[in-house]
Amino acid sequence: MELKRMFSMRICAKQIFAAVAATVILGMMIGGVQGMPPHTSTLAGVVVGADGKPVANASVTYQTGGGDAPHVIRTDAKGHFSVGKLRADSYDLRATTKGMYSEWARNVSVRPGQTKTITLRLTIPAPAPVPATPKS
């Protein structure tokens, strides 16, 4: 009788393990592409000047397509930038430096696990600052 009970418990444990494993796998498949975590996308690229040469230390502003949570990063010595651990979404990007800025690159879409590469070209002069009004 004891042997029969142990055998029955062993089968029950295997069934529980199989059910838990199936639930975890299904959750991973629903939560992302082939089980990828939700924040695995990357936006990368280079900022170039009007002459086509890379621009070091340029500011790159990126935000979701809805304008939420703008962030600023800097390019490296070769004009490259990279933003990782992003959720799959659409993003807007713009570069600025030394009185120049690029057009907005709008609705740049990234899927889970994807690295999207973009070139931002600085061509538009930034507006002149408004002079301070002297106090009387």
Taking 70 as the threshold, does the pLDDT of residue 41 lie above it?
Answer: yes
With bands split at pLDDT 50, 70 and 90, how would you rate the model's confidence at 43?
very high
Q: Quick one: pLDDT at residue 5?
A: 56
Q: Quick one: pLDDT at residue 39?
A: 80
Average per-residue pLDDT for the chain: 80
The SS3 call for residue 16 is helix
Residue 88, both tokens: 């799959």
Q: What are phi and psi of 131, to 5 degrees?
A: -65, 145
Question: pLDDT tens digits, residue range 87-117?
Answer: 999 999 999 998 899 999 999 999 999 999 9
Q: Quick one: pLDDT at residue 107?
A: 94
What's the whole-number mean pLDDT along residues 71-95?
96
Q: What is the largest CA-CA distance in the chain?
A: 103
> In degrees to the nearest 10, what's the CA dihedral of 74, 76, 81, 82?
-100
User: In the chain, where are the structural domains located?
Assistant: 2-31, 37-125
Taking 70 as the threshold, does the pLDDT of residue 119 lie above it?
Answer: yes
Question: pLDDT tens digits, residue range 2-24?
Answer: 655 555 555 555 666 655 555 44
Question: Rounded to an integer, what distance in angstroms lies between the CA atom of residue 102 and that of residue 95?
Answer: 5
Taking 90 as the threshold, does the pLDDT of residue 69 lie above it?
Answer: no
In this structure, CATH architecture of domain 37-125: Sandwich (2.60)
Q: Quick one: pLDDT at residue 15?
A: 66
Question: Rounded to an integer, what distance in angstroms lies between the CA atom of residue 110 and that of residue 40?
Answer: 10
